[in-house]
Amino acid sequence: MTPAVVFDLDGVLLDSEQVWNEAKEELVRERGGRWREDAPRMMMGMSSLEWSRYLHDELGVPLEPEEISDDVVRRLEAIYHAGLPLIDGAIEAVKRLAGRAPLGLASSSNREIIDLFLDLSGLGPCFAVTISSEEVERGKPAPDVYLEALRRLGADPSDSVAVEDSENGIRAAKAAGMRVVAVPNPHYPPDPAALAEADEVVASLHEVTAERVLA
Q: Residue 183: which of 51, 73, 94 has the closest Cα?
A: 94
Residues 74 and 94 in one domain: no
Domain boundary among 82, 111, 139: 82
Same domain membership, residue 183 and residue 126: yes
- pLDDT for position 1: 65
Closest residue by Cα to residue 121 from 75, 149, 73, 87: 87
**What is the SS3 assignment for 37-88?**
CCHHHHHCCCCHHHHHHHHHHCCCCCCCHHHHHHHHHHHHHHHHHHCCCECC
**Domain shared by 171 and 109, yes or no:** yes
User: What pLDDT digit, counting tens, does each position of 123-182 carry?
Assistant: 999 999 999 999 999 999 999 999 999 999 999 999 999 999 999 999 999 999 999 999
Task: Answer yes or no: do 68 and 143 share one domain.
Answer: no
Task: Give dist(CA 161, CA 167) in Å, integer.
Answer: 16
Q: 13-55 pLDDT, tens per residue? A: 999 989 999 999 999 999 999 999 999 989 988 889 999 999 9
The last residue of one of the domains, among 49, 65, 82, is 82
Same domain membership, residue 78 and residue 59:
yes
Q: Which of 129, 75, 63, 124 shows the shortest CA–CA distance to 102?
A: 129
| Whether 136 and 35 share a structural domain | no
Whether residues 102 and 159 share a domain: the answer is yes
- pTM, two decimals, is 0.92
Give the end of a domain, one of 27, 55, 82: 82
- One-letter amino acid at 108 equals S
Buried b (16+ CB within 10 A) or exposed e, 99-131: eebbbbbbbbbbbbbbebbbeebebeebbbbbb
**Taken in order 169, 170, 172, 173, is the CA torsion positive or negative?**
positive
Q: Show the domain range for 57.
A: 17-82
What is residue 117's three-state secondary structure?
A: helix
Q: Verify that 110 and 76 share a domain, yes or no.
A: no
- Give the CATH number of the domain where residue 133 resides: 3.40.50.1000
Number of domains in the chain: 2
Task: Kindly calculate the radius of gyration of the chain based on its CA atoms and give it in whole angstroms.
Answer: 16
Asked if residues 20 and 72 have their Cβ atoms less than 8 Å apart, the reply is yes
The CATH number linked to 67 is 1.10.150
Residues 46 and 139 in one domain: no
Clarify whether residues 78 and 108 are in a common domain.
Answer: no
Q: Is residue 96 located within the same domain as residue 185?
A: yes
Question: Residue 28 in 3-state DSSP?
Answer: helix
Cis peptide before 141 (omega within 30 of 0): yes
For 54, half-sphere exposure in the C-beta direction (CA atoms, 13 angstrom radius) is 19
Q: Per residue in 86-97, pLDDT tens?
A: 999 999 999 999
**Within this chain, do residues 170 and 127 fall inside the same structural domain, yes or no?**
yes
